[in-house]
């Protein structure tokens, strides 16, 4: 978990990465979080951790929980 030390979100408000709901203001929050993730030097590690851990809430590695769920499903179908 050392990669967290250089995370772009390290000193930001964590609420941005945990939007409530899937519409309205949460869409703005999701877009803001993804903008931060795009410039994060450890996005790849973060995403791998979130997918591997089965983390279901929040934005991790530039993905929403639904996007990660779809990734896991694709991986399961491919194996
Ligand atoms: S990819 Fe996004 S959520 Fe993950 S550490 Fe980087 S900024 Fe934070």
The model's confidence at residue 53, banded by pLDDT at 50, 70 and 90, is confident
Burial grade of 21 (CB within 10 A; 0-12, 13-18, 19 or more): exposed
In whole angstroms, what is the distance from residue 47 CA to residue 68 CA? 9
State the pLDDT at residue 10: 96
Cα-based distances in Å from 68 to 32, 37, 63: 18, 15, 6
The model's confidence at residue 43, banded by pLDDT at 50, 70 and 90, is very high
Domain tally for the chain? 1
Domain interval for residue 62: 2-78
C-alpha 40 to ligand 1 mean position (Å): 6
In whole angstroms, what is the distance from residue 2 CA to residue 41 CA? 12
List pocket residues of ligand 1, CB cut-off 6 Å. Answer: 7-9, 17, 36-37, 40, 42-43, 46, 59-62
Average pLDDT, stretch 37-55?
91
Whole-angstrom Cα Rg for the chain: 13
């Amino acid at each position: 978990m050392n990669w967290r030390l250089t995370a772009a979100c390290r000193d930001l408000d964590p609420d941005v990465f945990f939007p409530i709901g899937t519409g309205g203001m949460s869409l703005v929050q999701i877009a803001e979080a993804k903008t931060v993730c795009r410039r994060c030097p450890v996005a790849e590690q973060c995403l791998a951790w979130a997918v591997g851990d089965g983390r279901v809430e929040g934005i991790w590695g530039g993905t929403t929980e639904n996007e990660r769920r779809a990734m896991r499903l694709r991986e399961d179908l491919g194996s």
